[in-house]
Structure 1
Amino acid sequence: MVASSVNRLNSCRSSLPSEYTEKLDRSLHRSMPPPSSRESRILIAGGGFGALFLALLLERLSIPYYLFEGGLQVKRLGGALGLGPNILPLFEQLGVASLVASISMPCPAVDLYDQNLKKLGVLPMNALTETTGYEKLVCARSNLYELILAQLSKDNIIMNKKVLSYEENEFGVTVCCSDNSIYCGDILVGADGTQSRIRHNMYKILTRKNLLPKADREKAPPNFVCVAGVAQHLSSEKYNCLKDPYVHVRTVVGAKGQGWHAVNIPDDQICWALWIELDPATAANAKVTEASEFGFQNTEPVVKCFREVPCPFGGTMGELVDATEDNMKARAFVEEKVYETWFHGRTVLLGDACHTMHPWSAQGETNEILDAVILANSLFELRDLSLRSITYAFKDYYAQRYPYVKSQAAFSRAVTKLFCGQSIRERFTRYVTFNWFPQSYSCRMIEGQGHYRPQASFMPLAEHRGKGPAPRQRYPKPFSEEEVARRITSVWGRRRNL
């Protein structure tokens, strides 16, 4: 562990329960229980979509794990979430597709307006349906989170445990939590968000070894500050969109760097978001900490700038915000960066810990889930739990994900400029895109997002749909249940049998 963690733990050693004292002594002496004396396990720091989805896949593989969530309870935060053909086959594999459909509605198009609600253009989504066989779905972020969480064993989810630091050696990895408890495992997955503690610790180690690239030493300033929420129990007489069996996504390009949108979802709810683009000076001075990620911070300074602007569904955005309970609102700084270093030793990063994207392309949570399935596939192929084997698995995960994430970051930037940009050049590009180019141009752009559809290699593949070609999978034929059990037992059951 880093020196500060060692000193802090040593000072409070006497207050720890006796069962932790022995573990603490071993950790402070940079040692760890020998392999035969403990159960093999994966430690997951963070409780976002990527972490939950990885945990769900590990349960299907019967690989032991602990997931550490820093809060006392799951926070129902965020606004609307788009689900496309990239990840919908995964829900079919897991047998929860019908549950996902029950909390979602199809999204045929995204409408763009100016600040006076004059329509600027339409981005069609039905092109995906024909080529992939999947409709674009939209749901509340909090509803999908709770759905995935309900599939997990509560014994493996440890609440109120924020991982502060870690130490690893030839035998495994040990994490230190904010309450001074420590846990041992074989692999550590850092899925703890944009201000990742795991990434911070990993990069400190790599800096000492002079192995950290210059690009990863540079801090990414926030580009936007955003407030999002979900208004519930609304009247369909006031908001007629609630009567429709599909989603209306209506985004408004405001003035002075401002923008907002509203999205209707099932059960008489409307997801909304407000955002302000930060100028370089403000972004440079913004104090972005762990508490700046999606949380219950004071949202009113942002909300007051939008109270009187028109809501695309009628009334004002202020009325929609006031109809939202406080625990359903959240504020966050939005930044964008794809890190070059995703793993070192027995530790690997996932989701926002290694890549952050603007939310308007709906690629953030999608790529977290895709990270999880590719990492699970790589872990499934482990031959043993040696550092050499684990490093090979991490390299395989990185090789499959990094190029695609880079391309998605570029796509995310293009969508952000199209939907939020307010410079003369960006306004001209938006006008040309929606008025001069044929709609087939937009359709091709959207269709390109449906080509990448990896699935879990250790479960039966979801049936191919649509008129487009079937996406290539690493293993076209699924493994038998016997082969999956044999592989898992040979790697993860060995220590338990000793």
Structure 2
Amino acid sequence: MEQRFRSSENSEWGDFPAQTMCDETRDFPIPLEDGKNRTLGELYDRTPKELISKVMLEEKVFTTWYHRRFVLLGDACHKLNPAGGHGAVTAIHDAIALANLIYCMPSKTSEDVTRIFEEYHKERLPAVTESYNNSRQLARVSEKGIVGRIMRFLTTYMPVWLWRIALARTLRFRPQVGFIKAIEAKGPVKPVVSASEQKSRAMFEGQQTTAASL
């Protein structure tokens, strides 16, 4: 029955998949500060049935990000698990890199459009891949069985210094818009050099110098 329902239109929004999801995850523990043992089932029982729905979650970094004069960013080319909290951040950074490259694009020819899309993909792929891997690791905290228990134990008792190292791997990717005034980089984590920002910053500062001399 569920298989037939999944093959129909809008199957992820139906009552049957939602109920199946609740049944399969009822025993998942909910860690709270008061120390009492609670489960997701208790949360489901207190939630009106009409407010419970299920959607399909895809996690993937796609190979193709652009074609001719079309380019993708955010979830359209890299879908990250929400557990990492990086989805919106990576999308915003994609937009920044694209804006920087479009700003300093020498012409509107197909060759130049393809070239900046290649530069965009080359710059953003390492950061997106890092966020993707981190999100998948954090998502394992909610897994059933021994793997989930181990991950919950490690994340609960992980030393602060180790957390900082893990966070620094993703926080180092933070490009800025190059055609406005730069913001001073603060904090102990030094940002990775953004090629698109450097490129647009050089053009922007050159234009400012020229305008000042006129």
Q: Which TM-score applies when normalising by structure 1?
A: 0.33
In structure 1, what is the equivalent of residue 118 of structure 2? 395
Greater fraction strand: 1
Return the alpha-carbon distance in structure 2 between the equivalents of residues 394 and 407 of structure 1.
20
* 3-state SS in 2 of match to 1:334: coil
Which runs of 5 or more structure 1 residues have no equivalent in the other structure? Answer: 1-281, 487-498
Distance 1:292 1:448, change over 3 A: farther
Return the alpha-carbon distance in structure 2 between the equivalents of residues 378 and 288 of structure 1.
42
Equivalent residue runs for 1:130-169 within 5 Å:
none
Give the C-alpha shift of residue 469 in structure 1. 3.3
One of 135, 138, 144 as aligned partner of 1:422: 144
Q: Residues 378-422 of structure 1: CA distance to partner in whole angstroms, max 9, x if unpaired? A: 2112111110010011011011011221222111111111x2222
* 3-state SS in 2 of match to 1:393: helix
For the 8 Å contact 1:311–1:317, the answer to whether it is kept is no
In structure 2, what is the equivalent of residue 489 of structure 1? none
In structure 2, what is the equivalent of residue 317 of structure 1? 43
Q: Residues 263-283 of structure 1: CA distance to partner in whole angstroms, max 9, x if unpaired? A: xxxxxxxxxxxxxxxxxxx99
Q: Which TM-score applies when normalising by structure 2?
A: 0.70
Distance 1:422 1:304, change over 3 A: closer
One of 69, 89, 93 as aligned partner of 1:366: 89
Distance 1:362 1:446, change over 3 A: same
Q: Residues 209-243 of structure 1: CA distance to partner in whole angstroms, max 9, x if unpaired? A: xxxxxxxxxxxxxxxxxxxxxxxxxxxxxxxxxxx
Q: CA RMSD in A?
A: 3.9
One of 58, 63, 71 as aligned partner of 1:348: 71
Greater fraction helix: 2
One of 170, 183, 194 as aligned partner of 1:462: 183
Return the alpha-carbon distance in structure 2 between the equivalents of residues 288 and 409 of structure 1.
30
In structure 2, what is the equivalent of residue 452 of structure 1? 173
Distance 1:359 1:444, change over 3 A: same
Distance 1:299 1:360, change over 3 A: farther
Distance 1:331 1:482, change over 3 A: farther
Quick one: percent identity of the two aligned structures?
Answer: 25
Give the C-alpha shift of residue 470 in structure 1. 5.3
- 1:439 to 2:165 alignment: no
| Partner AA of 1:424 in structure 2 | I
Distance 1:442 1:468, change over 3 A: closer
Count of residue pairs brought into register by the alignment = 193
For the 8 Å contact 2:130–2:169, the answer to whether it is kept is no
Distance 1:454 1:378, change over 3 A: same
Give the C-alpha shift of residue 428 in structure 1. 2.7
